[in-house]
Structure 1
């Protein structure tokens, strides 16, 4: 997974409303979508507790529990595929994925970074490069009377999930310097609770 420069990260993370940031890369050789997802710690805790009766502290202290809970979150809330499949009533954050689809998700790991955490995972897409992305990590801003300590900073700010679509993974046989110099800039796309599905503009390196 290619790294993002600090300057570019800063431009998309300036305002304090609810946000997530993810790097997405298609790997044609494995037929998998590789994802690095950056969450605020408060949002990570809320998401983990939404799929488990255990506290986030207990989950994070147990690698196996974290993998189970993390996979449960992303299976429900992040999906890649065809538009019709992602619009299916059963394909929502309220419904767990079927066994066949669930097996396509692979947890790689987690890394802390100050007030944020990175989640790394892969999603197999046997039918090939997916055309659309669905993300329902966040709910619409709550009414002020119903807000709690985990609520986000701006009362009326619409939560945003930003995805950076990186250039396709290149063969490992290519020299590292050549892979870096030939990589085009990533595309950026944003999803919100009101618009949770979008077409993916993949970045295909020149052959």
Structure 2
């Protein structure tokens, strides 16, 4: 009964897509060729696009880490480990979610990676159902991060005064109230407000507030 329930759950899963309406690419990184091909077979059987890499360094040299995707990476690799790769993604604010592959005796390291922001970890040999569940979570996490990083980039364009006006709008204040609070004219508020909406790519104040709420976490 449980197996049937799990099967139904997976069959209803709608694969997340990027801004071009394409399924997220799954990057498989492992220095062992047999593991790479085994992962590739399992993930491809789910209908997801894949790309294989023999090392994290080669991956970083050739891939845009700001483009939404998912990584399935071995934890222990020469030159650059899975932990070092996760640290690099964190340092550069990449939206890519990483799933770590672990062997026996590596669980503590895998748990540490979760604390650093990894989406999940899988023990070898890989269970196909656990893999699909991990991929589902990782894809959703990647898209959420991509949305947040996009908003951060827009917000960084605002001047300090525009940020103050944006904060006032978030509180539901009208132009006259904002002018009083910031000790500026209503006309100046209108100019700043227009710039805030333009730079934040918001058509309505409600859309602006939604973005600011996501930004504030």
Q: Which TM-score band (shorter chain)? A: under 0.3
The normalised TM-score by structure 2 is: 0.22
Q: Which has the larger Rg?
A: 2
The normalised TM-score by structure 1 is: 0.23
| Higher relative contact order, structure no. (Cα contacts within 8 Å, ≥ 6 residues apart) | 1
